[in-house]
Amino acid sequence: MGRAAVIGCGDISIVHFEAIGAISDVTLVAVCDLDPALAKAAGDRWGVPAYTDHRALLELEQVDVVHVCTPHDQHAQVAIDCLRAGVAVLTEKPLAATVVEAERVVAAAAEHPQVKIGVCFQNRYNATVEAIRDAIDRGAGTLIGGHATVMWHRTPAYYAARRWRGRMASSGGGVLINQAIHTLDLLQWLLGDVVSVGAQVSGGRIGPGIDVEDTATLILDHATGARSVFVATNANVVDSPVALEIDTERASFFVRDDLTIRHVDGRIEKVAERRVETAGRGYWGVSHQRLIADFYARLDEPEPFWISPGEATKSLRIIAAAYEASGFGRPGR
Ligand SMILES: NC(=O)c1ccc[n+]([C@@H]2O[C@H](COP(=O)([O-])OP(=O)(O)OC[C@H]3O[C@@H](n4cnc5c(N)ncnc54)[C@H](O)[C@@H]3O)[C@@H](O)[C@H]2O)c1
């Protein structure tokens, strides 16, 4: 079904290598990392040629799908080069470091409609989230609102280990774009497109040399009329489980590990989240493999992949609006 290559052989790449290996008719054929030592280590580990330039890989290897696992500011150009080469792209979140770059990818995808492109918002494949989406689609009544919290712990060492993570220029942001974007994406996917954003965004809690935000509170108005509140921080003392509540006319859906549905008639239902064994970290979620397998399963379908560049730009627009509303990043703020 496919010949795969992975570009960017850092932390998250292991999840992609693992997922590729789990699909019977997909074969890894090449890897690439700007760092020659990392590229060689991955090439040796998986027994495939290693490159330090993705354009050389695209030129010399016959590849059907490229997995983009680079830092945020390296997503857009790599994805665009793949689309132009006629190679399908599955890129890690966020689609790009900025809305402007994301729009370049959206335009390139529109120019190459025959080439598939998808974005890794794997939490949309969680059993709990699928159950909420399904209930809304089947008719859970008017959407009222909701809230979500992402209270995580990131140390100075986490930022020091990969300088790009703490720098606005390379990451495009902090907790919002790097960690909480998954949950922000879920809020907008479940409650509807966001039409206005109120926000307080701040940094400085984790250590010196980090110019991205570590904490944010957002109030979101959705086109459906729903309103939600979103709180995210990387300055918590532990990685708390993400909490997500979606309220409709007929029920309240609350996820914290598993899903509890409280119906207005008093019934209570539970939906258990899947438990999977993975080399990835627990807080990355349980559904990477499901998303990646689904991307390959849909490769030959004529329709665009459902988590498309346009869809993935929505959360980036919310984040940009939050910076705008709070003034974060402006001189003097
Ligand atoms: N979906 C998730 O839950 C999840 C979880 C963790 C990370 N991520 C995302 O995965 C991406 C990578 O994160 P990470 O923590 O693995 O970072 P990392 O720094 O550990 O790895 C990135 C690698 O890309 C390489 N690289 C940089 N520019 C490149 C280029 N132009 N061509 C080839 N290689 C290049 C770097 O040398 C590095 O080895 C980020 O977008 C991050 O947000 C997603």
pLDDT tens-place string over residues 59-89: 999 999 999 999 999 999 999 999 999 999 9
What six digits make up the tokens of 83? 């689309």
Looking at the predicted structure, is the pLDDT value of residue 221 above 60?
yes
Looking at the predicted structure, is the pLDDT value of residue 173 above 80?
yes
Longest pairwise C-alpha distance within the chain: 62
Lowest-confidence segment of 87-96, 98-107, 283-292 by average pLDDT? 283-292
Q: Measure the CA angle with vertex 10, ends 8 and 11; round to 5°.
A: 135
Q: 95 and 75 in contact (C-beta within 8 Å)?
A: yes
Query: 47: how many CB neighbours lie within 10 A of its CB?
Result: 7
What is the mean predicted confidence (pLDDT) over 135-141? 94
What six digits make up the tokens of 229? 């509140």
Element (H, E) at 284: none
Residues 6+ apart with CB under 8 A from 325: 197, 198, 199
Ligand 1 pocket: which of 17, 40, 70 to mutate (most atoms within 8 A of CB): 70
Looking at the predicted structure, is the pLDDT value of residue 332 above 60?
no
Average pLDDT, the chain: 96
The residue ranking higher by pLDDT, 331 or 114, is 114
In angstroms, rounded to a whole number, what is the distance separating the alpha carbons of residues 149 and 49?
A: 42
Residue 281's pLDDT band (boundaries 50, 70, 90)?
A: confident
Alpha-helical (H) ranges within 263-333 are: 288-297, 309-326
Ligand 1 pocket: which of 45, 69, 212 to mutate (most atoms within 8 A of CB): 69
Amino acid residing at 236: N
Name the DSSP letter for residue 2: E
